[in-house]
Copies of this chain bind each other. A is one copy, B any other.
Amino acid sequence: MTNRQIIVQDIPKGALSQDHFALQSVDMPRPEKGEVVLRTLLMSIDAANRSWMQGATYREAVEAGDVMATYAISEVVQSQSSRFKPGDIVASESRWAEYVAWPAHKCQKMPPVPRLENLLSVFGIAGKTAFHGLVQVGRPIAGETIVVSAAAGSVGGYVGQIGKAFGCRVVGIAGGSEKCDWVVNHLGFDACVDYRAAGLFKALRDACPAGIDVYFDNVGGAVLETTLAVMNERGRIVCCGAISQYDDAAPTGPRNLPGLVVVKRLRMEGFIVMDFAKEDAKAVRALQSWVEDGKLKVEEDIVHGLENAPLALIGLLAGDNKGKRMVRVGANPKGVA
């Protein structure tokens, strides 16, 4: 029995491409004391994966020669720990690999859910990021206007739908008219603006006649700059990501910063989903109730096969996903849907 894994061959200077990765066949991992061997079922594909290659952040950098890092749902297949037994389903940081040996204390046992995919989408990082960022950082009030970029993406789609559940006007920003239509007609946003079309400022101002109170920023760059110009006084900018900057060798900053932050008394605040781990149970309870009430549509974009993970990430950075992207690596164990 062998294991397959994907390493980062070179750290990209500009756009990420398949050449930066290499697929390897290696020996099966052997667990040390306190470790488990995990069989990867589903790997989360996130823009953050790309930012990890830019240097140390809230976690160590991913460097050339490393097996690519990910967050994953896995099945325990061997255990050198009293915490887990074979067959357990866990969530943990992991690697782009079919099997990894991993410290048991860094794995979290997952509750039985109808679909494991939901543990990466609505009840996973995507849903929790949207909830904590919007609710705890953005603090919207019914009647306010929320704008969210990457609105067809996993986090953005939930942000808008949660905003609607709060009684806000919700405007998305997405790339291309087809995606914008989907955001409005399928996800139920009030409007969606195409950032690739000309006249973003005017389109945004028209879509937000009362200005913007909360901007949930997944992209940074020119879209952030334009949004700042439409923000209301005492508006909040939730800084969740800067996907437009990750592949950019010469990023540009918003030229109206910090000037507009001063005169409009804006609050710009960054967060990482783990910062609110203590409140995850509250988030999941709220997300479950909105799903049951039909207020939250769960969109999943599943790519099959470990070998397709590089393309799945490259495509995500180019914005070709709708909903939460993940890679299915191994089949679910018997008895798990």
Contact = CB atoms under 8 A, between A and B. Distances in A.
Interface string A236-260: 0101111001000001111111111
B264 A270 contact: yes
B58 A263 contact: yes
A263 B51 contact: yes
A262 B239 CA distance: 6
Nearest to A248: B255
Interface string A30-62: 000000000000000000000100000110000
Nearest to A242: B259
Stoichiometry, copies per complex:
2
Nearest to A257: B253
5 closest cross-chain pairs (CB), A and B: A253-B253, A57-B263, A261-B270, A262-B270, A268-B268
Nearest to A54: B259
Contact of A269 (B239, B240, B267): B267
Interface residues of A, number: 37
A266 interface: yes
B254 A257 contact: yes
B272 A262 contact: yes
Given A261-B269, A262-B272, 15 more contacts: A51-B259, A239-B261, A240-B262, A242-B258, A245-B259, A252-B255, A253-B257, A257-B257, A258-B268, A262-B270, A263-B270, A265-B271, A266-B268, A267-B267, A267-B270
Given A253-B254, A253-B256, A268 B272 contact: no
22 contacts: A51-B259, A51-B263, A57-B263, A58-B264, A224-B258, A239-B258, A241-B262, A242-B259, A242-B262, A251-B259, A254-B257, A261-B268, A261-B270, A262-B270, A263-B270, A263-B272, A265-B269, A265-B270, A265-B275, A267-B268, A267-B270, A268-B269
Interface in A129-144: none
A257 B237 CA distance: 12
Contacts of A269: 261, 265-269
Contacts of A217: 258
Interface string A181-193: 0000000000000
Contacts of A237: 258
A127 interface: no
A254 to B, nearest CB: 4
Contacts of A258: 217, 220, 224, 237, 239, 242, 268, 270
A10 interface: no
A225 B253 contact: yes
Contacts of A220: 257-259
A231 B220 CA distance: 19
A239, A262, A265, A267: most-surrounded residue (chain B CB, <10 A): A262
A264 B268 CA distance: 12
